[in-house]
């Protein structure tokens, strides 16, 4: 008995609206099952939604998130495709490393500003 979710269950869990989830389906980022006309989400669908939202959080567009998610599910079978997939993975890794650097820079700058504030406060 595999776990399934309704649209509103997932919406609640991830603090988005059902509209958002339907929109993701419309855009081809999700393809839940159907029981009649009603959407039925599997755990795999849930994970995909999680990945989409994670991507969103770190500034990826839905298209970019789809790219990444597709990387995780290689239905790719021949070597040429596998190699192009590896290329894309490397590219995404570089991009993510770059973002980490930017974040670290920002954190440093914030620490500086924080220190200035603190010394200003301690000085009355």
Partner DNA sequence: ATTTTGCTTTACGTTAACGTAAACGTAAGC
Partner DNA sequence: GCTTACGTTTACGTTAACGTAAAGCAAAAT
Contact footprint for a copy of itself (CB under 8 A): 54-60, 68, 71-72, 74, 76, 79, 82-83, 85-86, 89-90, 92-93, 96-100, 102-107, 109-110, 113-114, 116-118, 120-121
27's contact among a copy of itself, DNA, none, with CB below 5 to 8 A by partner kind, is DNA
Helix (H) or strand (E) holding 18: helix 18-26
Q: Which is nearer to a copy of itself, 6 or 95 (CB)?
A: 95
Distance CA 19, CA 95 (A): 30
In the structure encoding, which two tokens stand for residue 34, read together? 């159907």
Rounded-to-integer distance, Cα 61 and Cα 94, Å: 17
Nearest-5° Cα angle at 14, 8 to 20 = 65
- 8 or 93: CB nearest a copy of itself: 93
Shortest spacing between CB 74 and DNA, in angstroms: 23
Under a CB-based contact definition with an 8 Å cutoff, are residues 2 and 43 in contact?
yes
- Could you say whether residue 56 binds DNA (CB under 7 A)? yes
Q: Which of 57, 61, 81 is nearest to 71 (CA)?
A: 81
Cβ of residue 7: shortest distance to DNA, in angstroms? Answer: 4
* Residues near DNA, by CB under 7 A: 6-9, 16-20, 22-23, 27, 36-39, 56, 61-63
């Amino acid at each position: 008995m595999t776990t399934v979710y309704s649209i509103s269950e997932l919406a609640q869990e991830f603090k988005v609206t059902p509209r958002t989830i339907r929109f993701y389906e419309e855009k081809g980022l999700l393809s839940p099952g159907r029981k009649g006309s009603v959407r039925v989400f599997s755990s795999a669908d849930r994970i995909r939604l999680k990945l989409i939202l994670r991507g969103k959080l770190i500034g990826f567009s839905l298209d970019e998130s789809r790219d990444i998610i597709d990387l995780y599910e290689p239905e790719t079978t021949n070597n040429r495709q596998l190699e192009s997939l590896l290329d894309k993975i490397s590219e995404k890794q570089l991009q993510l490393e770059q973002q980490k650097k930017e974040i670290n820079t920002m954190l440093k700058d914030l620490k500086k500003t924080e220190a200035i504030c603190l010394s200003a406060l301690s000085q009355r």
